[in-house]
Amino acid sequence: MENITYHLQGVIKSEEDYKDFEGPLNLILMLLSKNKIEIKDIKISLILDQYLEQIDIMQSMDLEVASEFIQMASHLLYLKTRTLLAGEESEVSELQALISSLEQLKSRDAYASIQKITPEFDSATRRGLLYQSRQPEPLPKQEYGYRHAPVELLSAIANMLARGAHPEEADEKVRGVPQKIVYGVRVKSREIIDRLKSCEKQSLRILFAECGSKSEMIATFISVLEMCAVGGLMIEQEGEDYLISLAETMDEERFMERLELQVEGA
């Protein structure tokens, strides 16, 4: 079957003819953007219906519709007819020419937008080149001015040793209900006093290291703090360690009574 030739007055015959139809082409681009359709995925039936609807809106608003809009409507109707006869839109060469023109117009609009903003970037760049920034100055060295009390150092050592407690106690974490301390402070205080009576001075690091459980370590720490509170313990630094010894003012009976009262109050 021979190809049927259509002769429609005012129909665009070549891609060059699209140059005189920027207004209608911009309208088509607007419709594509409104429907979020890529140019390459254009559906001529959908665009034709919306294009004719826009023409009707323009006429209802008493706006003068330029002849090129009417000619573009005729051309879209012609493309729809060709598409229906061809069966595949990809086989209609005029449709491909329309797509090509739309892409060129879109690229030209994007390029024009870039050209419009380029002078502002140029002036900002020129201003930026005039600025000179100074390299960051090193911070002045500051002496560590805080002075630690012995009790704070003891607390820090206890926390450090507690983090390295025996692995078998790693699973003994708080699970909603606090665990009861099984190693009594009274018992541990008596052990420390008896030990200091026999050896006069004792390494605080060794004292914590010999603890068999976390509860014993806590009892040791509280006992040392209580003895420091009543002035019955002397602490002296030896390298990275601390040595403790009983003070002459240590009243053992009074200290144990103090612990008894604290236990009863708790």
**Bridge partner residues of 243 (DSSP):** 203, 236
Most distant CA pair in the chain, distance: 126
Structure tokens at 218: 């806590």
Q: What angle do CA 257, 258, 261 make, to 5 degrees?
A: 85
Structure tokens at 176: 């909603």
**Bridge partner residues of 234 (DSSP):** 245
**Bridge partner residues of 241 (DSSP):** 238
266 residues of the chain, pLDDT tens digit each: 333 333 333 344 444 443 444 566 666 666 666 655 555 556 666 667 777 777 777 666 655 555 566 666 666 666 666 666 555 544 455 566 666 666 776 777 777 888 888 888 888 888 888 887 778 888 888 777 777 787 888 888 888 887 765 555 545 554 544 555 577 888 888 888 888 888 878 888 888 888 888 888 888 888 888 878 777 788 888 888 888 888 777 777 777 777 776 655 54
What's CA 146's distance to the chain center, in Å? 36
Location of structure tokens 């002075």:
147
Q: How many residues does the chain have?
A: 266
Q: Residues near 44 by Cβ (< 8 Å), separated by ≥ 6?
A: 76, 79, 80, 83, 89, 95
* Whether the model pTM is above 0.75: no
Phi, psi of 69 (to 5 degrees): -65, -40
Query: 12, 71 in Cβ contact below 8 A?
Result: yes
pLDDT at 84: 63
**CATH code linked to domain 150-163+180-265:** 1.10.10
Q: What angle do CA 35, 40, 46 make, to 5 degrees?
A: 40
What's CA 150's distance to the chain center, in Å? 42
Query: 258, 230 in Cβ contact below 8 A?
Result: yes
pLDDT at 18: 39
Residue 143 gets which letter from DSSP? -
Domain residue ranges of the chain, discontinuous segments joined by +: 15-126, 150-163+180-265
CA distances from 225 to 129, 135, 158, 259 (A): 65, 51, 11, 12
Sequential DSSP letters for 4-40? P----TT---SGGGGGG-HHHHHHHHHHHHHTT--GG
Residue among 73, 10, 7 at smallest CA distance from 44: 73
